[in-house]
């Protein structure tokens, strides 16, 4: 696939958000060693309302449902971790805005746990 691309095309394979530094086809040495380059951030997506996502917030992982999207952030209702990779809905609804860059990935809706 890569060998069949035209000169003005790119092949982009992504499975997580990542930052990239732009590079000129031909660079002078000053640019190569610490020159001021623009940076591009690619986010996985697109995201839709009512989809489930995992968000990293203050070095913790949270399951969430997207309520609103504005292009740079999502408003989501947050579940709280209970341990062993399980989450529950808090007693009081917990809604926060998160930058899209904090989304780790989309997930399938979790299977409800039944406690006895």
What is the domain range of residue 60? 51-106
Structural domain tally of the chain?
1
pLDDT in tens, 95-114: 999 998 898 888 888 776 66
* 80 falls within a domain: yes
The pLDDT tens digits of the residues spanning 43-93 come to 556 788 899 998 988 888 888 899 998 878 899 998 887 877 778 888 898
Residue 85 lies in a domain: yes
Is 62 a domain residue?
yes
Q: Of all residues in the chain, what percent carry a pLDDT higher than 70? A: 60
The answer to whether position 19 is within a domain reads no
pLDDT at 42 exceeding the cut of 70: no
Is the backbone of residue 83 left (phi > 0), alpha (psi -120 to 50) or beta? left
The mean pLDDT of the chain is 75
CA–CA separation, 72 vs 39, rounded Å?
16
């Amino acid at each position: 696939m890569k060998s069949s691309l035209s000169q003005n095309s790119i092949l982009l394979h992504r499975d997580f958000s990542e930052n990239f530094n732009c590079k000129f086809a031909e660079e002078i040495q000053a640019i190569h060693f610490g020159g001021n380059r623009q940076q591009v951030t690619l986010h996985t997506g697109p995201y839709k309302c009512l989809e489930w996502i995992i968000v990293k917030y203050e070095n913790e992982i949270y399951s969430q449902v997207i309520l609103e999207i504005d292009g740079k952030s999502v408003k989501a209702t947050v579940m709280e971790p209970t341990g062993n990779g399980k989450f529950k809905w808090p007693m009081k609804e917990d809604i926060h805005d998160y930058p899209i860059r904090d989304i780790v990935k989309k997930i399938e809706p979790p299977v409800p746990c039944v406690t006895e």
